[in-house]
């Protein structure tokens, strides 16, 4: 019984020491908001603030994010870090976490750096990736596959790894989160079918108005017919692309007034349009 108790106890201790607290999303019920972040090499070292998301219309829908003020008097490598063994916890780089992602919202293009540090302050140094967008959220990815198997207990973020002519405000969020994938665009809403009936046809092979065709828009189906003034049906079609060539039974019809009756509809909206009009046929 004692051996079993010791085994369970040590296993709990081991799992507690080697567990990663992520993703770092700065939400009240998540990770990061209440950690003791230390700001360094940043002029007067203003504290890292947890604030409302400045833009929830983009890819980051989080309510709260981290706000970092990179001061003009700060070093290019000014940043913020967690305490050893606290906050992020102790974790080993493996297949599941070797790509570290972070979302940033910046007003300038500059490198963002991430560094992982061991309990004894040893590190392989930061990896830097520059943002490509300004004044909108962007997810950056850092490849730590070369750190495979190494164990760390401190996370360091360099939000604005560059010299700066003035103070820069950088927001960051969702560290160690999954890759953001742009959702597929929703198909456009269907539009009502529309129908226009031209009133002139000149089938004289001059390349202008040689054929008659109702003008269908947003239609999935149609029915249309051509009649003489005496009510004789000369042509009919259920095609959106068929054209009347001014003939009946292979022979040219005389110049004069003819009539078209047409209707069409959209399956998407359910609307139906019906029209009739006179056609002036002149060769």
Does residue 12 surpass a pLDDT of 80? no
d(CA 66, CA 91): 22
Query: Cβ contacts of residue 131 below 8 Å, gap of 6+?
Result: 104, 106, 109, 110, 112, 138, 140
Same fold, 2-173 and 194-281: no
d(CA 220, CA 194): 11
CATH of domain 2-173: 2.60.120.260
Residue 190, burial from CB neighbour count under 10 angstroms (0-12, 13-18, 19+):
middle
| pLDDT at residue 270, rounded to an integer | 95
Which two structure tokens, joined as six digits, stand for 39? Answer: 């700001």
CATH class of the domain defined by 194-281: mainly beta
d(CA 261, CA 226): 7
Does residue 15 surpass a pLDDT of 90? no
Half-sphere exposure of 264 (CA within 13 A, CB side): 24
Q: Per residue in 145-155, pLDDT tens?
A: 999 999 999 99
**Residues 154, 82 contacting (CB under 8 angstroms):** yes
| pLDDT at residue 18, rounded to an integer | 53
Does residue 83 surpass a pLDDT of 80? yes
> What pTM was computed for the model?
0.67
Does residue 16 surpass a pLDDT of 70? no
3-state secondary structure of 268: coil
User: Band of the pLDDT at 187, cuts 50, 70, 90?
Assistant: confident
User: Band of the pLDDT at 11, cuts 50, 70, 90?
Assistant: very low
User: Band of the pLDDT at 185, cuts 50, 70, 90?
Assistant: confident
pLDDT, averaged across the chain: 93
Q: Where are the domains of the chain?
A: 2-173, 194-281
């Amino acid at each position: 019984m004692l051996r079993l108790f010791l085994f369970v106890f040590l296993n709990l201790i081991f799992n507690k020491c080697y567990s990663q607290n992520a993703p770092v999303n700065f939400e009240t019920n998540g990770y990061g908001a209440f950690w003791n972040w230390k700001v360094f090499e940043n002029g007067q070292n203003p504290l890292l603030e947890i604030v409302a998301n400045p833009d929830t219309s983009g890819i980051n829908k989080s309510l709260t994010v981290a706000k970092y003020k990179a001061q003009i008097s700060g070093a290019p490598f000014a940043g913020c870090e967690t305490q050893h063994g606290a906050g992020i916890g102790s974790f080993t780089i493996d297949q599941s976490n070797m790509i570290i992602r972070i979302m940033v919202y910046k007003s300038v293009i500059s490198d963002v750096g991430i560094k992982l540090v061991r309990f004894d302050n040893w590190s392989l140094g930061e990896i830097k990736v520059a943002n490509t967008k300004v004044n909108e959220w962007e997810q950056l990815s850092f490849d730590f596959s070369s750190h495979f198997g190494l164990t760390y207990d401190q996370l360091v973020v360099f939000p604005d790894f560059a010299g700066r002519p003035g103070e820069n405000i950088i927001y960051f969020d969702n560290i160690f989160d999954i890759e953001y994938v742009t959702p597929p665009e929703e198909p456009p809403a269907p539009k009502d079918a529309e129908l226009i009936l031209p009133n002139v046809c000149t089938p004289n092979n001059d390349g202008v108005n040689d054929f008659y065709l109702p003008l269908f828009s947003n239609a999935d189906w149609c029915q249309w017919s051509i009649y003489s003034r005496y009510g004789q049906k000369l042509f009919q079609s259920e095609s959106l692309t068929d054209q009347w060539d001014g003939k009946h039974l292979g022979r040219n019809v005389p110049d004069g007034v003819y009539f078209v009756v047409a209707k069409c509809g959209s399956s998407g909206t359910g609307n139906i349009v019906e029209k009739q009009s006179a056609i002036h046929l002149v060769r």
